[in-house]
């Protein structure tokens, strides 16, 4: 049993060294007006478990109600994945969001984070708009192709069902005059 623990310890230590290398050198990094120095970087790294599934570095400290890691730097609380992204030398361009490619909200591995638009982030996730966009047929079995979508509608609406509903409404209006 001791040999297993030693092997696991060595694996974790190797992951920690790799994690420190990815998160950069101990120069100061400015994020949202807060300077993250070497001491704050070490405090940040201490809150990461690099032995997560699929190569994820899971945040072990405070979490937001939605499951994202929180890190307090000075008097400001920031999302841990954004801090990790910045420590790895990346910047988030204006109008973009950080997407967890691994779909694990606690992950702070910069290799699993990518700056994308809000639409791309929403469509990659397990969201209602993503599920609707993935549909190939409407509830009545009609194929949702470009030629079978209502053109002026802001969402994907079946043209065949829309026409059938309009005809049924017209029949009902004529019958109830």
Residue 129 has pLDDT above 70, yes or no: yes
Same domain for 93 and 148?
no
Query: Where in the sequence is the domain holding 168, given as residue range(s)?
Result: 135-175
Residues 59, 13 within the same domain: yes
Residue 35 has pLDDT above 80, yes or no: no
Confidence check: pLDDT of 4 > 80 = no
Per the structure, how many domains does the chain have? 2
Judge if 92 and 139 occupy the same domain.
Answer: no
Please list the residues that pair with 34 across neighbouring strands. 31
Residue 165 inside a domain? The answer is yes
- For 2-54, the DSSP string reads HHHHHHHHHHHHHHHHHHHHHT--SS-EEETTEEE-HHHHHHHHTTEETT-GG
Joined tokens for residue 1: 């049993």
Q: How confident is the model at residue 53 (pLDDT cuts 50, 70, 90)?
A: confident
139 and 84 in a common domain: no
Write the CATH number for 88. Answer: 3.90.75
At 79, which helix (H) or strand (E)? Answer: strand 76-79
List the single range of 25-34, 109-118, 138-147, 161-170 with lowest mean pLDDT: 25-34
Give the number of residues written for the chain.
177
Same domain, 75 and 116: yes
How far is it, in rounded angstroms, from Cα 87 to Cα 20?
A: 10
Does the structure show a pLDDT above 70 at 176? Answer: yes
- Residue 1's pLDDT is 44
Could you report how far apart the first and last alpha carbons of the chain are, in Å?
85
**Averaged pLDDT of the chain:** 83
Q: Is residue 63 part of a domain?
A: yes
């Amino acid at each position: 049993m001791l040999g297993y623990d030693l092997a696991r310890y060595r694996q974790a230590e190797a992951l920690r060294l790799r994690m420190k290398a990815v998160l950069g050198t101990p120069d100061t990094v400015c994020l949202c007006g807060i300077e993250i120095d070497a001491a704050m970087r070490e405090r940040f790294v201490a809150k990461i478990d690099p032995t997560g599934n699929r190569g994820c570095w899971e945040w072990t400290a405070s979490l937001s109600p939605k499951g994202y890691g929180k890190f307090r730097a000075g008097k400001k609380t920031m999302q841990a994945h954004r801090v990790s992204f910045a420590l790895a030398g990346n910047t988030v361009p204006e109008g973009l969001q950080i997407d967890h490619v691994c779909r694990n909200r606690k992950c702070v591995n910069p290799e699993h984070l990518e700056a994308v638009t809000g639409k791309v982030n929403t469509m990659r996730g397990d969201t209602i708009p993503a599920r609707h966009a993935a549909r190939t047929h409407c509830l009545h079995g009609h194929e949702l192709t470009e030629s079978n979508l209502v053109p002026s509608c802001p969402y994907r609406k079946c043209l065949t069902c829309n026409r059938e509903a309009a005809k049924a409404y017209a029949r009902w209006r004529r019958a109830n005059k």
